[in-house]
């Protein structure tokens, strides 16, 4: 069965610092991969997605993620974090042709000025 692991429950960074949020998945083939962000009191918003092709994908708000098949990872990165990036981030995986999206448990990002 497919699963998603986000090993970091809570991350704190200073504004302007770089960021990497980890995501590992378990699935027999290449899944569809997503990163969503949830601001306080809001629903989830798609940051970026990977289906196939270039393994480095660009998303909104200056985020990018890299798919590494050998490590079963899809880590989210941002070169310079802004205070408005403080939120909870969810990695999600969907097996091909299943319409079943599995979410990780989330990583809460705190940004200090």
> Counting beta carbons within 10 angstroms of the beta carbon of residue 28, is it exposed (0 to 12), middle (13 to 18) or buried (19 or more)?
exposed
What six digits make up the tokens of 27?
Answer: 């699935």
Residue 101 near another protein by CB under 8 A: yes
Q: Is 45 in the site for another protein (CB under 8 A)?
A: yes
Residues between 7 and 26 that touch another protein (CB under 8 A): 9
Q: Report the residue from 13, 19, 72, 103 that binds another protein according to the rule CB under 8 A.
A: 103
Which residues are bridge partners to 77 per DSSP? Answer: 20, 64
Which CB atom, from 1 or from 70, has the smaller least distance to another protein?
1
Q: What angle do CA 17, 23, 24 make, to 5 degrees?
A: 150
Q: Which residues bind another protein (CB under 8 A)?
A: 6, 9, 32, 34, 36, 41-46, 49, 51, 90, 94, 97, 99-101, 103-106
């Amino acid at each position: 069965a497919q699963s998603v692991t986000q090993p970091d429950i809570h991350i704190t960074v200073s504004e302007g610092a770089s960021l990497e949020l980890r995501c590992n998945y378990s699935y027999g083939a290449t899944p569809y991969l997503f990163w969503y962000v949830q601001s306080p009191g809001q629903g989830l918003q798609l940051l970026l997605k990977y289906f196939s092709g270039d393994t480095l994908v660009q998303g909104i708000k200056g985020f990018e993620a890299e798919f590494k098949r050998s490590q079963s990872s899809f880590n989210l990165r941002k070169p310079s974090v802004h205070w408005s990036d403080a939120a909870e981030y969810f990695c999600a995986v969907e097996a091909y042709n299943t319409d079943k999206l599995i979410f990780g448990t989330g990583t809460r990002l705190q940004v200090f000025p």
